[in-house]
Amino acid sequence: MEAHRVLVVGAGGLGSPVLRALAKSGAAHITVIDDDLVDESNLHRQTLYGREDVGRSKIERAAANLRELAPELSVEPVDGRFVPSTALELLKGHSLVVEGADNLATKFLVADAAHLGAVPAVQAGAIRWGGWAFCALPDSACLRCLFEDIPRDRIETCAEAGVVGPVVGVLGGLEAAFAIRLLRGERPAGELWHYDALKGSLRKTFVRRRSDCPLCTGEIKDLRMERYTAACAA
Q: Give the number of domains in the chain.
A: 1
Per-residue pLDDT tens digits for 78-115: 999 999 999 999 999 999 999 999 888 999 999 999 99
Of residues 57, 59, 172, 64, the one with CA closest to residue 125: 172
Share of the chain above pLDDT 90, in %: 81
Residue 165: the pLDDT is 80
Residues paired with 193 in a beta bridge: 133, 204
Which residues form the domain of 199?
5-227
User: Which amino acids are annotated catalytic?
Assistant: 158
pLDDT at residue 152 is higher than 90 = no
Q: Is residue 95 part of a domain?
A: yes
CA distance 207 to 57: 37
Q: Is residue 45 part of a domain?
A: yes
Residue 149: the pLDDT is 87
Q: Is residue 78 part of a domain?
A: yes
Q: Please give the order of strands across the beta sheet that includes 201-206.
A: 74-79, 29-34, 5-9, 96-99, 121-127, 130-136, 191-196, 201-206
- pLDDT band of 158, cuts 50, 70, 90: low
Q: What is the mean pLDDT of residues 71-75?
A: 95
Q: Is residue 233 part of a domain?
A: no
5 in Cβ contact with 16 (< 8 Å): no
Which is higher by pLDDT, 157 or 17?
17
Q: Is residue 86 part of a domain?
A: yes
Q: Is residue 184 part of a domain?
A: yes
Q: How many residues are given for the chain?
A: 234
For the whole model, what pTM was predicted?
A: 0.92
CATH code of the domain containing 136: 3.40.50.720
10 in Cβ contact with 59 (< 8 Å): no
Q: Is residue 234 part of a domain?
A: no
Which is higher by pLDDT, 63 or 161?
63
